[in-house]
Structure 1
């Protein structure tokens, strides 16, 4: 008999039909007459109750049916006699596929802290929380590709190993095959990368944007979705050393087109989650409310599903960086010294607390900020006519702050070279990038969405390490 997934069985109305189900035991309880086994195979947040008549099965076999063991059960589908489920399986045959030593198995049927579960990331998929997060993550991956494919975008795989620093931050992981115990040196004592695999210094990429721009100059509209890396020595709840980025680049798009696409994209993803992940979202919402029940009302997060519907229900408010600074400078939290980073005037780089104030307190809707000072943005952003600001845009969300960053790119060759020189970006090493401005240049734009930032929003998880299967952070490269 072919196995049927738990997710299909619990929705089945074929009472009396025989099914074969396989999965892992979450709990087993009962008495001398009957055992109730909660079985889960990862296909749904819901467990399937297996009812096993003790007289039908060998005592030693039932003793092996412990939390964590994998089993196969053949039985008939019955209406459930107990609360918590609509149907259950009345076991006719039962086999233990894989035993589990309950004396050392770390996932006992009790509440575990997220910190502890990070230490056993190889097993946390078996918990309700992380199986729910994994299923939502899969749905969001599918939705990303579905959205762009429906709009005629081409998916491009950009290099993971690169010789350029797209952000100019310098916080990159180096890639080398050189013998670190016997590095070749040049006459002036520097490492001789001519002997390295690529013949030059290379790193793991921080962004696929620059290569994405090249593709957009021939294909029109493209997007990348791949791993990116940043060697930032940060242990905050918002930073990873390895994370995934979604980066569309569009020829003939100006800043307004870019903002329109970003808003449409985010709303599509959120609606997809609500339409396809409701069981998991309800569980994650209840988990978050339980976690925050002892907080003051004003400190609690917005209910998860309500927060997602809030984004769908509102047009994103659009304003300039200058307008935002005036709002923040004159806000009560700023005047009363309640911001950790006071806003004194034009030129400050906005922090998460400022972004969240604009979204959650002032406008009470998602916000898109535009026209940032050139000093706090990257070299490739198009300069405005005032030559003081650039055509940047950041999308701000409740509880997350910035979720998307993007801009109209500078398409003018001379202006781009000038900007690169001002910011000490080696133009001579990026002739391939500048060529797109020499050969049939066009206005173009793009943005980046950190996938794990999106996952924080749609799952309600508070730490970015809990929305990626195996987080990479300073001093942590386990599993």
Structure 2
């Protein structure tokens, strides 16, 4: 079997199914067996190589091949097949391959976990090393790739520079304190100082360090010289949370823009996310159609009160086609206080000025009141981070959140506090040590400028686009409390 074609000229299953010029040609395809059915006259093998949701049907004459070979061709086995691509004789596919030569590359025993039947997502999480071979996860991770590619493409086209910020850091950008510590000190007998505390001067970096929760602070430094930058990398939270919305390791997209104010920031966030959604609708139609049908089936199994009023594709079109509404936090609170759910005590969480909006409040604003995505701005300073620019009213900061249907907040950002004295006062009030962030303060002393940025949790975006209910199902190998198996 000839495998010497240049690597990118070798046809895959997607090309064989879609390129009509290949009909009548002899090809070699490689992939994994999804199903096999046979009788004494013919054997049908459905082959998939991950390039597409669809399988290609292989038709083989059992009299032309070794009986022992067919006994070894089971679900999950890998094959290389040479044959002619011909118009299909059956329904369901336009073309099929008539097998002339079959090579068994890897056998699959009868205890292969991913049999051709419906498996629960919980079961497949336990088989994360195999779940890529299923239709659902093949679709999810092809879409994840398309979104990641679109992120880089968008920023490159708009003059941004991709900045790699540190994964190991000595600062806590969020002030949350829930960070993974990084050390080379021995756990059983760490060095101690005169007061009996662990002596980090003997550690690798000579000070306490952690895995980063955000690349934002370092990203701001890049923006102060490069103008427009973005980061796209892994971040870590040591939060002991076992919800469907939290991961201990996840990827963040964080642009930082010199000379952008809050309005510019909101404009960029809206254009960016609408561009991503439009792109995935354009380029991932097959996988999205499959996931839309899957989400509809799952939605119909829920109690009536918990069912979504929009299908997956409807939600994506909803975002792509509607300009986002804009409202201040104060206006949003007034809307919620005057809403029917509040008056009828249907909201689980109380509403008053100063609260952090809950998902139920955010979804009401998006799905019921405005019926379009919403950007909420100018939040109370007491519920936001130290680096956000303080407004003249003394009560709010120039923050903004982008809210989506079915999910609530998907982007959080702000205009950054560029005034040295204001930033220093805020850090003191929030007990953030100046000596740890001296370099951050210095950017406000030497040529400071108004600047802004935002953060988008990539898995949250993939979860929205794919309709998956659990965030652990949109990252290849999820990390969560007691979960680091693969």
TM-score by shorter chain over 0.5: yes
- 1:452 counterpart residue number: 459
Quick check: 1:396 aligned with 2:396? Answer: no
- 1:335 counterpart residue number: 343
CA distance in 2, matches of 1:394, 1:341: 19
Please report how far the alpha carbon of residue 411 of structure 1 lies from its aligned counterpart in structure 2 after TM superposition. 0.3
Deviating more after overlay: 384-393 vs 182-191: 182-191
Aligned counterpart for 1:165 among listed residues 172, 177, 183: 172
Aligned counterpart for 2:222 among listed residues 206, 215, 221: 215
Quick check: 1:139 aligned with 2:115? Answer: no
The 1:112–1:67 alpha-carbon spacing in structure 2 relative to 1, beyond 3 Å, is same
Could you say what secondary structure the match of 2:18 adopts? Answer: coil
Quick check: 1:123 aligned with 2:112? Answer: no
- 2:371 counterpart residue number: 364
Could you say what secondary structure the match of 1:37 adopts? Answer: strand
Quick check: 1:294 aligned with 2:301? Answer: yes
Equivalent runs, 1:238-317 vs 2, <5 Å: 238-296=245-303, 299-301=306-308, 302-317=310-325
Aligned length: 477
- 1:20 counterpart residue number: 28
Quick check: 1:410 aligned with 2:420? Answer: no
Please report how far the alpha carbon of residue 30 of structure 1 lies from its aligned counterpart in structure 2 after TM superposition. 2.2
CA distance in 1, matches of 2:166, 2:23: 53
- Per-residue CA distance 1:230-285 (angstroms, 9 max, x = gap): 01110110000000000000000000000000000001100110111111101111
- 2:97 counterpart residue number: 89
- Per-residue CA distance 1:358-389 (angstroms, 9 max, x = gap): 10111100000000000000000000001110
Could you say what secondary structure the match of 1:77 adopts? Answer: strand
CA distance in 2, matches of 1:56, 1:337: 73
Please report how far the alpha carbon of residue 297 of structure 1 lies from its aligned counterpart in structure 2 after TM superposition. 5.4
- TM-score if structure 2 supplies the norm length? 0.97
Could you say what secondary structure the match of 2:475 adopts? Answer: coil
Aligned counterpart for 1:107 among listed residues 104, 109, 114: 114
Please report how far the alpha carbon of residue 471 of structure 1 lies from its aligned counterpart in structure 2 after TM superposition. 0.1
Could you say what secondary structure the match of 2:300 adopts? Answer: coil
Q: Which runs of 5+ in 2 are unaligned?
A: none
Could you say what secondary structure the match of 2:89 adopts? Answer: coil
CA distance in 2, matches of 1:335, 1:197: 58
Aligned counterpart for 2:87 among listed residues 71, 75, 79: 79
- 2:197 counterpart residue number: 190
Please report how far the alpha carbon of residue 185 of structure 1 lies from its aligned counterpart in structure 2 after TM superposition. 1.2
Please report how far the alpha carbon of residue 334 of structure 1 lies from its aligned counterpart in structure 2 after TM superposition. 2.0
Runs of at least 4 residues of structure 1 off by over 4 A?
Answer: none
CA distance in 2, matches of 1:329, 1:31: 69
- TM-score if structure 1 supplies the norm length? 0.98
- 2:159 counterpart residue number: 152
Please report how far the alpha carbon of residue 298 of structure 1 lies from its aligned counterpart in structure 2 after TM superposition. 5.6
- Per-residue CA distance 1:87-114 (angstroms, 9 max, x = gap): 1001111111000002x21101100000
